[in-house]
Amino acid sequence: MMCFLLSVIKVYWESLDKNLTSRVKSYTSRLLSSLEFISTNLTISHEEARKFSDHRYLINHQWKCDNEDVLLLLFVKSSPENYERRQAIRSTWGNEAYIQKNFGVTVRVLFALGMDPQPLNLKKVQHRLFREDEIYQDLIQQDFFDTFHNLTIKLLLQLTWTHTYCNHAHFIMSADDDIFVHMPNLIRYLQGINRANIKDFWIGKVHRGAPPNRNKKSKYYVSYEMYPWSVYPDYTPGAGYVVSKDVASKVYRASLTLNASLYIDDVFMGICANAMGISPQEHAFFSGEGRAPNHACIYNQMMTSHGHVKDFHELWRLATDPEVQRFSTGFFGKLYCTLAKIRLLCTVSFSFTYPCKAAFL
């Protein structure tokens, strides 16, 4: 009886999801064609655009990708003072040696930084960063102030560095330093995409038809002078998304002639991509701004989870436990996990980061 009920739910959900997806695609297609004027109106000369990205490197590692077949170049957006977060990432999901040993692929993890914005702390923090980089050699820093309103400049740092020093990497990921990335799941997924040679690949949690925030009390406030239109092009939250190398190249080229004064970096990414005719694809297990539920049936498919600071090591231990894979295999394991995910993801009163449809994947 339970199997029959689940089958009915699954068929109904797939039918509903197919209908919704069709409508969204139709709406998005119409919307994208009507948003071409945004990039047209934001187009500036190459010389003007260079002012946003023409920053001097304080710390750089041009050789980081040399002579390597890099599956994934992963930029972590970090603030100068977030040393403990960087350490936690280095010893868990961002451990390059662990990835190479266990999966036989090359992943390069770099931390994108600006300068400490506090004048009294600047010299002390910078000295500490130099010492940190002497040990780990994974910081990429330019001489702009590391503030919320300079996030788009930090995006330009990532695009420029990738184009200049690592344009052969098959995929590029941008993530915040409070994101947990389930690297084994992500690597297996990207290897499949790479074998299929898919182009214009851009995945994450997608915001479609999102309006600008006009609340002056919000840090995400965008004035009409800065962005006069009522809707953003489709984009993925900057917390974590992945693009193929051809998308990274196209977005970089678009950024060379677009006004980057809009400081919402993920929206600017969407504007650049839209200018090149590229739209993001939804992946049910990319969290965007949300935090995933702690459960073995979630770990088996998790890609990212947002909002982690002090629990990286515990989550890494739980998520990569070999028992997780065995736990959800077989008929009864899959049945149990489907029920568990329905309970976790399909409740009205308490919503986690992944959509209800993820329960049936």
Give the pair of three-digit tokens for residue 222.
């965008």
Residues 353 and 303 sit within 8 Å (Cβ to Cβ): no
Clarify whether residues 272 and 135 are in a common domain: yes
Clarify whether residues 302 and 230 are in a common domain: no
- pLDDT, residue 26, reads 40
For residues 33 and 308, what is the distance between their CA atoms, to the nearest angstrom? 38
Residues 204 and 288 sit within 8 Å (Cβ to Cβ): yes
Clarify whether residues 222 and 264 are in a common domain: yes
Clarify whether residues 208 and 324 are in a common domain: no
**Of the candidates 262, 280, 298, which is a domain's last residue?**
280
Give the pair of three-digit tokens for residue 209.
């038809």
Backbone angles phi, psi at 147, to 5 degrees: -130, 165
- Within a domain: 36: no
- pLDDT, residue 325, reads 75
Angle at alpha carbon of residue 245, lines to 239 and 247, rounded to 5°: 70
Backbone angles phi, psi at 121, to 5 degrees: -100, -15
pTM across the whole model: 0.89
Tell me how crowded residue 79 is: count the other CB atoms within 10 A of its CB.
18
For residues 264 and 129, what is the distance between their CA atoms, to the nearest angstrom? 26
149 secondary structure, DSSP code:
G
The parent domain of residue 329 ranges over 2-26+284-360
- Within a domain: 298: yes
Clarify whether residues 16 and 136 are in a common domain: no
- Within a domain: 162: yes
Q: Considering only CA atoms, which of 167, 68, 154, 165 is closest in space to residue 111?
A: 154
- Within a domain: 350: yes
Overall domain count for the chain: 2
For residues 225 and 126, what is the distance between their CA atoms, to the nearest angstrom? 35
Q: What is the pLDDT along the chain (361 residues), one digit of tens a residue?
A: 565 455 545 544 444 444 444 344 444 444 444 588 898 899 999 999 999 999 999 999 999 999 889 999 999 999 999 999 999 999 999 999 999 999 999 999 999 999 999 999 999 999 999 999 999 999 999 999 999 999 999 999 999 999 999 999 999 999 999 999 999 999 999 999 999 999 999 999 999 999 999 999 999 999 999 999 999 999 999 999 999 999 999 999 999 999 999 999 999 999 999 999 999 999 999 998 889 999 999 999 999 999 998 899 999 999 988 888 777 788 888 999 999 999 999 976 555 689 999 999 8
- pLDDT, residue 283, reads 96
Clarify whether residues 92 and 52 are in a common domain: yes
- pLDDT, residue 82, reads 97
Clarify whether residues 249 and 307 are in a common domain: no
Clarify whether residues 57 and 96 are in a common domain: yes
Clarify whether residues 199 and 55 are in a common domain: yes
- Which residue type occupies 29? S
**Of the candidates 280, 299, 319, which is a domain's last residue?**
280
Clarify whether residues 262 and 290 are in a common domain: no
Clarify whether residues 122 and 69 are in a common domain: yes
**Of the candidates 264, 280, 296, which is a domain's last residue?**
280
Give the pair of three-digit tokens for residue 94.
């961002």
Q: CA-CA-CA-CA torsion for 347, 352, 355, 356, nearest 10 degrees?
A: -20
Q: Cα dist. 290→32, 204, 242, 264, 314 in Å?
A: 26, 12, 17, 18, 18
- Within a domain: 42: no
